[in-house]
A = this chain, B = another copy of it.
């Protein structure tokens, strides 16, 4: 019997996930354009035997550029640059199904999977901001349901494009001059409501067959989509009870969709703020919160809540008359999480900003390596998580601390790998390589089906 093992992803972001991390004395505020910086972070994650690194993304400038490093490199290109100086760590890029074409995006991920020799993952997002819509000829954000419907068709087309070459298509037979066998490469002739794509792809089937499919939305539509399509889920959960409910819910939906729930890995976000003592960790956390410029953070909160900023006095609780989730067309689950966090703990706007500034709704945990390992173990064994999306408040120091001090504890407890046993991202997550669709079946009349 194999013991169930944790999966750990490092979510990389500029100087760290705390919005004020770039203001610390140790931080270089110009790292966002430096592929070598992110490569070193990936090498650290690889040294810690983590499953993968990951970048969020949206095709729009988000929020106030004064607030935090806002200029970001496009992640498929950045991860390709990082692939060559790493050998095992998985490389997961976010890309939007609303603002891409399936042919181009399927091809870019297949290319990244070839370049990395089987380490590519795609975090599928539908992009919930009006700012993005306006960069692509739209006046309004497409409706939530519409975006998810397009996403489902997009993923179906992408899978069929990845399968448009059989694994054995390329033979390279010099003697007769046949590079690939023509009838092992087929058009897909897709014609649907959102996409019409003939195919085949002009990039052959990649080492993993398909990149690992990841999803991060937690709305009703998002969970339903994840249950059908995702192989890993990044999710924001503030309490153990919420995480357990989410875990049960998504696995039940996956089973309902005819899938084995164990083939879907659920990774809540955790923002570790690590100190050698609990006090040291809390001091770092407090220092970070002091460095938040409240006006920037309040403007962002006001956007999320669809309110003018002046309706959010810093030292008062949220106003009582906020819209319900079903009136929100944007990031529904994030909206609800923020409102519930503020109400359940009776936080003022200033306090709420401090909580969100650390991890934008993910669970911030300031403590010693032992305390963080305890929390991880507890959630992992309580039906709340298959692993964690590790979001260090400060980078690179927070990732170094996690790898050097938390990972060894998890290994000593038998919860985490002590060496990589596979080579691909799918290997690390214990997920199978999708089989190709093989040759067309020969029917009784002798014609290909």
Binding site for B on A (CB under 8 A): 20, 22-25, 27, 29-30, 33-36, 39, 58-62, 64-74, 76-78, 80-81, 83-85, 99-101, 103-104, 107-108, 111-112, 114-115, 131, 134-137, 165, 169-170, 172, 174, 177-182, 185, 195-204, 206, 291, 293, 296
Contact = CB atoms under 8 A, between A and B. Distances in A.
Given A35-B83, A35-B115, A112-B77, A71 B204 contact: yes
Which of A20, A22, A34, A137 has the most chain B CB atoms inside 10 A of its CB?
A: A137
Contacts of A33: 114-115, 204, 206
Contact of A179 (B65, B135, B203): B65
B172 A202 contact: no
A206 B172 CA distance: 41
Contacts of A204: 33, 71
Given A71-B170, A73-B115, A78-B115, 4 more contacts: A35-B83, A59-B104, A65-B169, A71-B165
Contacts of A108: 74, 76-77
A72 B202 contact: yes
Contact of A198 (B131, B179, B206): B131
B39 A84 contact: yes
Given A33-B204, A101-B136, A65 B198 contact: no
A448 B27 CA distance: 35
A177 B66 contact: yes
A132 B84 CA distance: 30
Given A67-B179, A72-B202, A84-B84, A77 B23 contact: no
* Number of this chain's copies in the complex: 2
Contacts of A78: 80, 111, 115
Contacts of A181: 65-66
Contacts of A195: 137
A68 B84 CA distance: 27
A201 B131 CA distance: 11
A77 B111 contact: yes
A72 to B, nearest CB: 6
Contacts of A177: 20, 23, 66-67, 291, 293, 296
Given A66-B179, A103-B136, A201-B61, A111 B80 contact: no
A61 B185 contact: yes
A204 B200 CA distance: 36
Contact of A74 (B25, B30, B58, B107): B107
Given A80-B80, A84-B39, A199-B135, A179 B58 contact: no
Given A84-B81, A108-B77, A198-B135, A103 B35 contact: no
- 4 nearest interchain CB pairs? A29-B172, A71-B204, A134-B198, A65-B180
A198 B178 CA distance: 49
